[in-house]
Amino acid sequence: MNSETATQGLVTAAFGRSFLVECSDGAVRECSTRGKRSDYACGDEVSVLAQGRDQGVITACSPRRSLLYRSDQWKQKLIAANVTQAVMVVAPVPSFDLDVLDCCIAAAEHAGIRPLIVLNKSDLPESAKSATALALFTGMGYPLLQITARDSVEALRPHLAGQRNVLVGESGMGKSTILNGLMPQAAAQTQDVSRALGTGKHTTSHARLYHLDAQTDLIDTPGVQAFGVHHLAIDELAAAFADFRPFLGHCRFRDCRHLEEPGCAVLAAHEAGDIDTRRMASYQALAQQNLAQQKKF
């Protein structure tokens, strides 16, 4: 008698070629993949060939409604699938990198995912300077929430309700403190995941999905030092910069790259003070990197 049965499931932890899948029959299975494929992410909705109650093989993935990922000149790193909101955590200490935030937001915009910026450790005196730096983003319409996670995260909870959220940010910003404040049992679940995957690690070394309630999910992810967007073509990159959008389509040349072309409406807007100098420099650096990458192929 064949003990293998087909079931549907949700990927709740991703570690290399091993995944935990929450299956529709109520079991959580450690799953491998067929062949060499390993491009699944937390939040993926998959078909599983169950092998008993604890094991399985992922055989297919449903079409994704969204996919957040980062890329450099060598590879792509999947972060989370089917998310509706990216919660980008920054803090005054250690200081955060605005260029990394630019890239996180650009990747989310390209994927159709709503960004929410959370300034953690807002009780520190350095937070006033951080809030001033982030005013550029609030001016573009991005919501900003200031919290002190070690005291309380309750102000954040309503902003997460009804969404599948992914926590992203640099190391040391306090993502784990936020998660533990929202879901105190997360630490125990993290240990369970580590044991199931044989990692022996209790820090955030891979992405994990938690259910805050029946309508709300939160995906915790490892901290990043960089967030590349090499996968965005020049026109996609420009469109992902919200402050560029009023001027796109008004350049002299249809294929304008907004670098040094004559008649560029984006460059003219920058000269007029309608686009921030740091943002302009950030875009141009990314555009140059992506163009250099494309020339290699």
Ordered DSSP codes for 247-265 = GTT-SSSTT--SSS-TT-H
Q: Mutual orientation of helices 277-294 and 98-111 as an angle, nearest 10°?
A: 70
240 and 259 fall within a common domain: yes
pLDDT digits (tens, 9 = 90+) for 138-162: 999 999 999 999 999 999 999 999 9
Residue range(s) defining the domain that contains residue 51: 4-61
Listed residues 61, 79, 99: the one ending a domain: 61
* One-letter amino acid for residue 107 of the chain: A
Position 296 scores a pLDDT of: 55
Position 205 scores a pLDDT of: 61
111 and 243 fall within a common domain: no
154 and 212 fall within a common domain: yes
Position 293 scores a pLDDT of: 73
Tell whether omega for the bond before 94 is within 30 degrees of 0, i.e. cis: yes
216 and 243 fall within a common domain: no
Q: Is 140 inside a domain boundary?
A: yes
Listed residues 61, 77, 106: the one ending a domain: 61
pLDDT digits (tens, 9 = 90+) for 221-264: 998 888 889 999 999 999 999 999 999 999 999 999 999 999 99
- Counting as low any pLDDT under 70, the low residues of the chain are 1-3, 187-205, 294-297
138 and 50 fall within a common domain: no
Q: Is 227 inside a domain boundary?
A: no
**Cβ contact 136:279 at 8 Å:** yes
Listed residues 220, 250, 267: the one ending a domain: 220
84 and 207 fall within a common domain: yes
Whole-model pTM over 0.85? yes
Task: Please provide the distance, in angstroms rounded to a whole number, between the alpha carbons at the two ends of the chain.
Answer: 51
